[in-house]
Amino acid sequence: MRRNQGTLNAQLARVISELGHTDTIIVTDAGLPIPRDVERVDLAVRENLPRFLDLLDTVLDEVAVEGVVLSEEIKRHSPDMLAAIEERFDRLGLTLEFLPHTEFKRATAGARAAVRSGEFTSYANVLLTAGVVY
């Protein structure tokens, strides 16, 4: 068993460990369609369990991120969620990029993995580009 706290889910821990510079990983709500060829780390248990922000925080604790993409529609449909996401990336000095949702879904096709939460807030999805720690 791991001594230090961190990602306890074995599949998610493996995916995070395998990420390389410029690989992408999606943290999703319960409804985002995940492309067939993208590994699915499905952590959804029931509505809003786990919450998207808890899962995002877990990933951000372990992954160096250099790029963030969201759906443009989050601005209109889920402004409170957007504010919470912005707060996290402002602390990291990262600027958010927005794409129309149809383009966002296309952009997920090349992701290394998708980590699915139980979140029922519309458009609570981010596509993260892995950076380097040096």
At 1, the pLDDT band (50, 70, 90 cuts) reads very low
At 6, the pLDDT band (50, 70, 90 cuts) reads confident
Q: What is the largest CA-CA distance in the chain?
A: 44
77 included as an active-site residue: no
Contact 126, 25 (CB under 8 A): no
At 3, the pLDDT band (50, 70, 90 cuts) reads low
Q: Which of 8, 9, 18, 21 is catalytic?
A: 21
DSSP secondary structure of 33-100: PPPTTSEEEE---BTTBS-HHHHHHHHHHH--EEEEEEETTHHHH-HHHHHHHHHHHHHTT--EEEE-
22-50 tens-digit pLDDT: 999 999 999 999 999 999 999 999 999 99
State the Cα torsion 58-60-61-63 to the nearest 10°: 120
Give the residue extent of every domain in the chain: 10-130
Name the helix (H) or strand (E) containing 104.
helix 101-107
Contact 71, 28 (CB under 8 A): no
81-127 tens-digit pLDDT: 999 999 999 999 999 999 999 999 999 999 999 999 999 999 999 99
Domain 10-130: CATH class, spelled out: alpha beta
- Where is the binding site for substrate, in residues? 29, 101, 123-125
Statement: the pTM of the whole predicted model exceeds 0.85: yes
Beta strands 126-130 and 39-42 are unpaired
